[in-house]
Structure 1
Amino acid sequence: MVKSLPLRSEVKVEETWNLQDLFKTEEEYNEAVAELTKEVDAYALKFKGNIVDAASAIEALKGYERIVANMVPVGAYTSLSASTDQTNDEAQMRSSKFGSTAAKINSQLSFVNSELSELPAETLEAAMNQSEDYENFLEKLIRKKPYQLHPEVEKTLAAFSATFNAPYGLYNTTKMVDMSFDDFEVEGKQYPLSYVSFEGDWESEPDTAKRRAAFEAFSAKLREYQHTTAKTYDMQVQTEKTTADLRGYESVFDYLLFNQEVDKSMYDRQIDLIMEELAPHMRKYAKLLQKVHGLDKMTFADLKIPLDPNYEPKITIEESKKYIDDGLAVMGEHYTNMVDRAYDERWIDFAQNKGKSTGAFCSSPHGYHPYILISWTGSMEDVFVLAHELGHAGHFYHANAEQNVFNARPSMYFIEAPSTMNEMLMANHLLKNSEDPKFKRWVISSIVARTYYHNFVTHLLEAAYQRKVYERIDEGGSVNANVLNSLKREVLEDFWGDDVEINDGAELTWMRQPHYYMGLYPYTYSAGLTISTQVSKRILKEGQPAVNEWIEVLKAGGTKSPAELSKMAGVDITTEKPLRDTIAYIGELIDQLVDLTEEIESVKN
């Protein structure tokens, strides 16, 4: 039975994260913001118009690095405190106020990139040779030189950054504050519904009548907000297109992929190969679900049900720690110590409460420990989600310790590799420790349903849909709810064919993800999982040497391109091979599920 969510003030403190590690009091936070604005004023006075040679460039970058480092805890505290309760007026007003402050600071500091970009390439190269710390930063700046605008234009654009980020804030407000779900009814009985309970419980509810009724009620509420949400999204993509045009990129794709340090062929390959070659495997999985559950037909609303709901272990927060420690032990003591600290020092926000952001994420402020948000439901799936987020934490725990604030963050293309790696290690550990066919089937179905379905299907179908949206925008078009519904339905029907009925409401799935406000993010999940699948196979086969190489990759942070980072771990993502191997591996897992199901059924009969 799904209960109504408590208010944030009603949850246990030990199930919340400790933001006092960033600032002990509101007063301390306000003082840091005031100090930051003073520091920026003094910095601009000293350096504006005075970055003229290699020596002054290095001196300016030292001061700039200090300011960026001081902005980190303020920005993290602002966003993290708002994410746990979107209905908290104080947190939302703080967030809005800091958004304006940050826009002003970015505008004041825009001269740094402008003045550096205007220096001759040989001067920048001289600065790189004289300071290893800023080599990576300056190399990226040289690469960006052709797309840099006049300093006054850069200043104006930076001043408007809060406005340009407004669609994301508006999306979240619509979703988490305005949208309120009524109870739904099945056979005369009422059941409560919320965003969190639908995605955390009802979507995978084994009772078909309840699951489909919850899907209908959830979709009906989404539909009421489709036009506002579509308009919000159109604002986002039009802003990106205008920026791409202003800066002289050939297309909005080139603009959005530029910072990822990959070309469009790698982006297209990820989408096209999965749409074409993974689809048959996933249709086979859908048919298996239908057969095992005895469904009259397989609909979109049925795709998230577990293969064996009766075998889904319930896990407490405390029990999850042992599972994760054991599963990630292969990564070494330093890594598992970080996991233990995450639990013991309240780096993780487990609580379920009204107004909390949906899904899960990890924020890793440079100079501080990571923070993880999750809404703990007690299912084993939560253990995989938490292992995933601890993968992000482990990545930046290593990168932040080794790299300065400019160098720690790698390309978005690579960002999901360390997180999905942990899911693979967890699953492999569980499989290794049992010969029970029911347990093995449960573990493999968890990998397929959680790790691969989530990253290679849910997010990849978002990516295929997103590509269609940007193609339309690139041609000068716009989007509304009807267009977005039509594009989403088309992608779902292409992938699932006749094996899954794309029922009413499925087309509204585009309304559910914040990823569309983060550039070309959705496809990177499958890119990261392609890398981590191949590296996890190496770790299983080769042991410690492969682990050591992977730790070095984590430490490298953003100092290398995705292709270089992957190569360090023994994977060549410039070819189709890793992706084809991963798709074949998913096919093998689904075949194993079919075989195990036959074995279990034959014993039953």
Structure 2
Amino acid sequence: MKKRDEIPVCDTWNLADILPSESAWEDLFRETESSLSGYKRYEGHLADSGEMLFSCLRFDEEMSLNIETLFVYGRQKSDEDTGNARYQELSSRARSLSYKAAGLSSFLVPEILAIPQENLTEFRENTAELKRYDRTFEIILKKKDHTLSAPMEALLAKSMEATSGPSEIFHMFNNADVKFPEIKDEKNQPVRITHGNYIAFMEKQDRSVRKSAFEALYSVYGQFINTLASTFSSNVKQAAFYAKARNYPSARAHSLGENEIPEEVYDNLIKAVHEGLPNLHQYISIRKKALGVEELHMYDLYVPMVSREERKITFEEAKAMVLEGLKPLGAEYLSLLREGFDNRWIDVYENEGKRSGAYSWGVYGIHPYVLLNFNGTLDSVFTLAHEMGHALHSWFSDKNQTYIDAGYKIFVAEVASTCNEALLIRHLLEVTADKKERAYLVNHFMDSFRGTLYRQAMFAEFEAETHRRAGEGEVLTGEVLCRIYQRLNEEYFGPDMVVDPEIGYEWSRIPHFYTPFYVYQYATGFSAAIAISSRILKGDESAVKGYYEFLSGGNSMTPIDLLKLCGVDMGTAEPVKDALFVFAGLLEEMSRLI
């Protein structure tokens, strides 16, 4: 494992595009910290005039952008090497500053809601600059029943730093502290398991290597399961506290309400997926037959059903594959991809202490960034396509929306990324003439359905049940959580799967559970992306046009309405059912190919 300073500069992202140096970060921090006192001149005066209201909202924007810049830079520096105390400090200080700003600005929404309706209407009609905040006012007025008095809002804002502990503890445990044991690879050489190489081991044809990696990883989480259960339970309690404080009936209602998503969307997803479980059970039967095993275990889920000569894909090859696969999106999209590839938007390879996984992030007005842990597998090529989908979604939203309206809601965040993956896999299927290669790619596409639509729906069901139980007063011990998770795996994967006891620990390593009711959006986003990519590949020009409008929409309308621009209505279960129909077709083809 290379240390950070051993990675070639060309393979790292260039955070100097955000801030040129740490001293510049310190300058901006001091300037912003000093400026926060400016909120005081507006408190109690928002009803004075439209000009005063506009001035306050613009000041709030400026402070928010400064803090976003500080936090993103600090956190991304920390993610380069999570064990670096200096970068942890930058991230922590930026977060503390954001909490301070949230407290000082907490009067804003209650005061706006306290302005008599006729006065607010007059301000908006007679102060042209307030047009910038039409969507802001729309969102604020929707939340009237969930907004507290100014003092109570201030108290809630101040509490956030204290209640963020569970998420931070898990982040440091999972990225900086946890160490996995060594196993013997297929050449009988000792190799240490890491977050970055675990899935690569699970894809190995050598079953003993897969089994060893699986047992080694979960043995560590099993050792800490009581601590991790307490951390998870504390986060569940935190979510319940804020939901109750804001007069929501549950943490789920709070989370979905914040994103303007009706709760029936969540229920429709789980119901539709349950109706489609026979297809997943058929997938397991096909996998068992293809691998030629008497028992199919959880460590057999990632290895391709169809073996092929393993070859490492270079990053240059991966970029070329992505560019070719995304041609249906047009010249402008491809040009932006090349710009990102050529100008160090991407942090490519794993290094010691680097955050696991992958993400796209950035600061408004500056190009987005992508963190990868590229390992040369086909999966890592799809991860590149996925994260660049996020990145260009942000690029288009930032270009076409003001700062206040650019930040799209989480519900639509996975659509562009997954659409890229769907376009890439369908391109690869189209250009291959080799039956074995086609079977390999169909397997990969099917695994996307299993891993994103089914798996994330199962995660969503786990969250719904654990939060419900906690709300009813049940203590979420490690034993309880593992039992729930084990049962769900048995239900989802069906009778042909041996659900190994180690999988009961899996919930304890999922970072997204610390953002409650986030994961269901991977499944809904995947369903929407399958529908959109299908329309684009049919050559429907209106589909591409609508898709660009969607990418450019930011938060200018509700997520449900944004997706309607693409001809997809997530207010119904139809997109999920349509995606499951595509999965059924893939099952039929794989049955013929193996």
TM-score normalised by L of structure 2: 0.96
Letter in 1 for 2:154: K
**How many residues were matched structurally?**
590
Larger mean CA deviation between 420-429 and 90-99 belongs to: 90-99
3-state DSSP of counterpart to 1:573: coil
Instruction: Return the alpha-carbon distance in structure 2 between the equivalents of residues 375 and 448 of structure 1.
Output: 23
Q: Which residues of 2 match residues 151-166 of structure 1 at below 5 A?
A: 151-166=150-165
Tell me whether 1:490 sits opposite 2:450 in the alignment.
no
Instruction: Return the alpha-carbon distance in structure 1 between the equivalents of residues 491 and 145 of structure 2.
Output: 39
Tell me whether 1:119 sits opposite 2:81 in the alignment.
no
Q: Which residue of 1 aligns with 2:471?
A: 474
Aligned residues of 1:364 and 1:370 also touching (Cα < 8 A): yes
Q: Which residue of 2 aligns with 1:109?
A: 105
Instruction: Return the alpha-carbon distance in structure 2 between the equivalents of residues 447 and 126 of structure 1.
Output: 55
Instruction: Return the alpha-carbon distance in structure 1 between the equivalents of residues 349 and 468 of structure 2.
Output: 40
Tell me whether 1:10 sits opposite 2:16 in the alignment.
no
Q: 1:124 to 1:84 in 2, by over 3 A?
A: farther
Instruction: Return the alpha-carbon distance in structure 1 between the equivalents of residues 183 and 431 of structure 2.
Output: 41
Q: Which residue of 2 aligns with 1:364?
A: 362
Q: Which residue of 1 aligns with 2:63?
A: 67
Letter in 1 for 2:216: A
Structure 1 residue 442: Cα displacement:
2.0
Q: Which residue of 1 aligns with 2:43?
A: 48
Q: Which residue of 1 aligns with 2:274?
A: 275
Match of 2:557 among 550, 560, 565: 560
Q: 1:495 to 1:467 in 2, by over 3 A?
A: same
Letter in 2 for 1:262: I
Q: Which residue of 1 aligns with 2:299?
A: 301
Q: 1:282 to 1:482 in 2, by over 3 A?
A: same
Q: 1:161 to 1:499 in 2, by over 3 A?
A: same
Q: Which residues of 2 match residues 317-356 of structure 1 at below 5 A?
A: 317-356=315-354
Structure 2: runs of 5+ lacking an equivalent: none
Structure 1 residue 64: Cα displacement:
1.3
Instruction: Return the alpha-carbon distance in structure 2 between the equivalents of residues 551 and 289 of structure 1.
Output: 38
Tell me whether 1:20 sits opposite 2:16 in the alignment.
yes
Match of 1:437 among 435, 438, 456: 435
Q: Which residues of 2 match residues 31-430 of structure 1 at below 5 A?
A: 31-41=27-37, 43-52=38-47, 53-129=49-125, 130=128, 131-185=130-184, 189=188, 191-277=190-276, 279-430=277-428
Letter in 2 for 1:139: E
Structure 1: runs of 5+ lacking an equivalent: 598-605
Aligned CA RMSD, in angstroms, stands at 1.8
Instruction: Return the alpha-carbon distance in structure 1 between the equivalents of residues 78 and 273 of structure 2.
Output: 36
Instruction: Return the alpha-carbon distance in structure 2 between the equivalents of residues 479 and 206 of structure 1.
Output: 37
Instruction: Return the alpha-carbon distance in structure 2 between the equivalents of residues 588 and 475 of structure 1.
Output: 42
Instruction: Return the alpha-carbon distance in structure 2 between the equivalents of residues 479 and 123 of structure 1.
Output: 49
Deviations 1:80-117 (A, max 9, x none): 11112111111112222222222112211212223223
Instruction: Return the alpha-carbon distance in structure 2 between the equivalents of residues 231 and 393 of structure 1.
Output: 35
Q: 1:436 to 1:487 in 2, by over 3 A?
A: same
Instruction: Return the alpha-carbon distance in structure 1 between the equivalents of residues 208 and 264 of structure 2.
Output: 44
3-state DSSP of counterpart to 2:370: strand
Q: Which residue of 1 aligns with 2:571?
A: 574
Deviations 1:238-262 (A, max 9, x none): 0111111111112222111111211
Aligned residues of 1:198 and 1:214 also touching (Cα < 8 A): no
Q: 1:594 to 1:127 in 2, by over 3 A?
A: farther
Instruction: Return the alpha-carbon distance in structure 1 between the equivalents of residues 45 and 285 of structure 2.
Output: 67
Q: 1:188 to 1:476 in 2, by over 3 A?
A: same
Q: 1:368 to 1:114 in 2, by over 3 A?
A: same
Aligned residues of 1:234 and 1:479 also touching (Cα < 8 A): yes
Letter in 1 for 2:383: V
Larger mean CA deviation between 140-149 and 117-126 belongs to: 117-126
Q: 1:312 to 1:572 in 2, by over 3 A?
A: farther
Structure 1 residue 48: Cα displacement:
1.6
Aligned residues of 2:186 and 2:209 also touching (Cα < 8 A): no
Q: 1:248 to 1:586 in 2, by over 3 A?
A: same
Instruction: Return the alpha-carbon distance in structure 2 between the equivalents of residues 445 and 17 of structure 1.
Output: 33
Q: 1:124 to 1:83 in 2, by over 3 A?
A: farther
Instruction: Return the alpha-carbon distance in structure 1 between the equivalents of residues 411 and 186 of structure 2.
Output: 47
Task: Give identity over the alignment, percent.
Answer: 27
Tell me whether 1:586 sits opposite 2:569 in the alignment.
no
3-state DSSP of counterpart to 1:416: helix
Q: 1:76 to 1:592 in 2, by over 3 A?
A: same
3-state DSSP of counterpart to 1:435: coil
Letter in 2 for 1:181: F
Instruction: Return the alpha-carbon distance in structure 1 between the equivalents of residues 76 and 329 of structure 2.
Output: 28
Larger mean CA deviation between 409-418 and 465-474 belongs to: 409-418
Structure 1 residue 185: Cα displacement:
4.7
Aligned residues of 2:313 and 2:376 also touching (Cα < 8 A): yes
Structure 1 residue 126: Cα displacement:
4.1
Aligned residues of 2:186 and 2:206 also touching (Cα < 8 A): no
Letter in 2 for 1:45: K
Aligned residues of 1:174 and 1:229 also touching (Cα < 8 A): no
Instruction: Return the alpha-carbon distance in structure 1 between the equivalents of residues 13 and 160 of structure 2.
Output: 29
Instruction: Return the alpha-carbon distance in structure 2 between the equivalents of residues 20 and 229 of structure 1.
Output: 36
Q: 1:14 to 1:148 in 2, by over 3 A?
A: same
Aligned residues of 1:412 and 1:524 also touching (Cα < 8 A): yes
Instruction: Return the alpha-carbon distance in structure 2 between the equivalents of residues 186 and 90 of structure 1.
Output: 36
Instruction: Return the alpha-carbon distance in structure 2 between the equivalents of residues 188 and 355 of structure 1.
Output: 26
Letter in 2 for 1:156: L
3-state DSSP of counterpart to 1:51: coil
Instruction: Return the alpha-carbon distance in structure 2 between the equivalents of residues 429 and 560 of structure 1.
Output: 32
Instruction: Return the alpha-carbon distance in structure 2 between the equivalents of residues 306 and 124 of structure 1.
Output: 60
